[in-house]
Amino acid sequence: MSDSPQPYRVLARKYRPRTFRELIGQDAMVQTLGNAIKRGRLAHAFLMTGVRGVGKTSTARLIAKALNCIGPDGQGGPTIDPCGVCEPCRAIAEGRHIDVVEMDAASHTGVDDVREIIEAVRYAAVSARYKIYIIDEVHMLSKNAFNALLKTLEEPPAHVKFLFATTEVNKVPVTVLSRCQRFDLRRIPAELLADHFAHVVEAESVAAEADALALIAQAAEGSARDGLSILDQAIAHAELGEGAPLVTAAQVRDMLGLSDRGSTRRLLGLLLAGDTGALLAAVRDQYALGVEPLALMRGLMELVHAVTLVKAGRDIVSPGQSAEEREALAEWARQLGFAPLHRLWQLLVKGHDEVASAVLPIESCEMALLRVMHAATMPDPGELARLLREGGGGVAPSASLDGKPAPPPSSSTSPAARLPASLPDLIEAFWQKGKGSLAQELHDCVRVVRFAPPAFDYRATAQLPADFTARLLPALREVTGVAWQVAQSDADGEPSLLEQEQAAKAAERATILETPVVKAAMAAFPEAELVDDKPEQWSAGA
């Protein structure tokens, strides 16, 4: 009868490091540990800390093998290169060695669990050189459990070693930290992860595009285990062809809900150009393709960060980066100053946080990007100070958002010469440009706090729509040719034009009612009413 096939092992378990040479991205720790073993300066307790999936528990098992390895001939001592073939090495790798005890502190948090360890350390190892206790997620132990462990941890028997692993070292008491030799395992660089994944797919007889592996490495965020899990999913997602399965970058983007770099660059270009309609259409196109709004915001943040680094003189070399992307980064870095870039970054960070907690993510994404588009055009404090020193009353459009200097305006044709002098003039201009809805809202629902074109502060009445400012800013720029500063204020402001008209009518009505003729008529006919012979209607030019 034939043997039954072996059950499938996920890549994260199958490709766990079996030697220190296979432990990627932790060269400094391996060198320190190797020197300590060679010189016989072994600590009685080790603490491995770092983010998930960088090899903390794997390192603890490797240390256990290194300390207990006896070599193929049974005569070896502690070594940084355990043989992997002797009985202690094989038993530890398979998790069945009686003298290597692994405990998950997340499910064994109490003092009774630690007391069992304290009682057992008094006895010598059964078959190994050292009795080793590996405690994973050690920060989950209770305060009493830590206190019970302290004395044994400080003066353990010579045959006992403690190996701790934690993702939250700040929760481990200082009294415990001071008794351990600490190793901080670093996040694994994306380049190393991509190379590692290339070896894995080759061993698995799978083909993969370099860009696909680079995307998986970036999504792993420094965690080998997370990256291998994503790679496992990508291989399952890949289509079977005539040969081996092929993992493509497009499939990985679809699987992870990522926006491709070209689309992200196009979005940033539309954002800098101030093209509202095209920007909103592009955002919806990405959303329809399955790109999450949060991933879209993050992609823009990464792009702005990359532009800033290029601006600062740092050479960006990223896996999967195309020549087009390098050219775009260089061009934006040339056009944009540091102040607009910092402003863009802050606005995108705020928008990212809003989208992350929003009930309506895509709508919040659109509103955040509109705010970025319009708020990024505001002058910085240095520009305002210069204008004040020069006696300027308004904000001159000295540069567009893309950093290109605007031509100096002439006295007769500049946009400033065409700016409306009052709110009624602005409303009239809106009516002439076919923007009746905004004109009506300005007339009925806006109380002017400050009108100093191109600056406009107002207080809204309860009837004003919430998206008024977002619609007003592009309309102002279209009608006047100038980027405005518009802000909603808590100051009282003047009554709206509608309120002023209503107050004038009320005053006129009161005056008429006080005339002797009308008073006599009202006295003679108590049920009579004063009726306006003109309907209440307002329109531009009426």
pLDDT for residue 537: 45
pLDDT beyond 80 at 191: yes
Distance CA 161, CA 149 (A): 13
Last residue of a domain, one of 345, 360, 375: 375
Among candidate residues 156, 153, 141, 67, the one with its CA nearest the CA of residue 104: 141
Classify residue 327: in a domain, yes or no.
yes
Classify residue 407: in a domain, yes or no.
no
Q: Based on the fold, state whether residues 180 and 196 are members of the same structural domain.
A: no
Q: Based on the fold, state whether residues 241 and 130 are members of the same structural domain.
A: no
What CATH code is carried by the domain that includes residue 295?
1.20.272.10
Q: Quick check: 93 and 79 in contact, CB under 8 A?
A: no
What CATH code is carried by the domain that includes residue 468?
3.30.300
Answer yes or no: pTM beyond 0.85: no
Classify residue 414: in a domain, yes or no.
no
Distance CA 306, CA 329 (A): 7
Q: Based on the fold, state whether residues 211 and 113 are members of the same structural domain.
A: no
Distance CA 387, CA 396 (A): 8
Question: Is the dihedral angle over the CA atoms 346, 351, 352, 354 positive or is it negative?
Answer: positive
* Range in 18-27, 74-83, 474-483, 530-539 the model is least confident about: 530-539
Q: Based on the fold, state whether residues 165 and 73 are members of the same structural domain.
A: yes
Strands (E) across 357-418 are located at none
**Do you find a cis peptide bond into 454, omega within 30 degrees of 0?**
yes
Higher pLDDT, residue 349 or 535: 349
pLDDT for residue 369: 92
pLDDT for residue 508: 80
Distances (CA, A) of 401 to 63, 65, 408, 533: 56, 60, 16, 53
Classify residue 112: in a domain, yes or no.
yes
Last residue of a domain, one of 143, 164, 184: 184
Q: Based on the fold, state whether residues 180 and 194 are members of the same structural domain.
A: no
Q: Based on the fold, state whether residues 468 and 527 are members of the same structural domain.
A: yes
Q: Based on the fold, state whether residues 158 and 98 are members of the same structural domain.
A: yes
* Token code pair at residue 20: 């220190």
Q: Based on the fold, state whether residues 446 and 480 are members of the same structural domain.
A: yes
Among candidate residues 344, 278, 270, 252, the one with its CA nearest the CA of residue 306: 344
Classify residue 383: in a domain, yes or no.
no
pLDDT beyond 60 at 541: no
Q: Based on the fold, state whether residues 174 and 209 are members of the same structural domain.
A: no
Please state the rounded mean pLDDT for residues 150-164: 87
What's the chain's Rg over C-alpha atoms? 35
> Given the structure tokens 């990223």, which residue do they identify?
318
Distance CA 325, CA 343 (A): 22
pLDDT for residue 407: 44
Q: Based on the fold, state whether residues 472 and 443 are members of the same structural domain.
A: yes
What CATH code is carried by the domain that includes residue 211?
1.10.8.60
Name the residue range of residue 357's domain.
Answer: 288-375
pLDDT beyond 60 at 70: yes
Dihedrals phi, psi of 207, to nearest 5 degrees: -95, 145
Among candidate residues 389, 406, 447, the one with its CA nearest the CA of residue 423: 447
H-helix or E-strand containing 134? strand 131-136
* Token code pair at residue 298: 């993050």
Distance CA 51, CA 55 (A): 9
Last residue of a domain, one of 184, 204, 235: 184
Q: Based on the fold, state whether residues 158 and 23 are members of the same structural domain.
A: yes
Classify residue 274: in a domain, yes or no.
no
Classify residue 273: in a domain, yes or no.
no
What is the number of structural domains in the chain? 4
Classify residue 201: in a domain, yes or no.
yes
* Range in 104-113, 185-194, 248-257 the model is least confident about: 248-257
Q: Based on the fold, state whether residues 148 and 25 are members of the same structural domain.
A: yes
What CATH code is carried by the domain that includes residue 89?
3.40.50.300
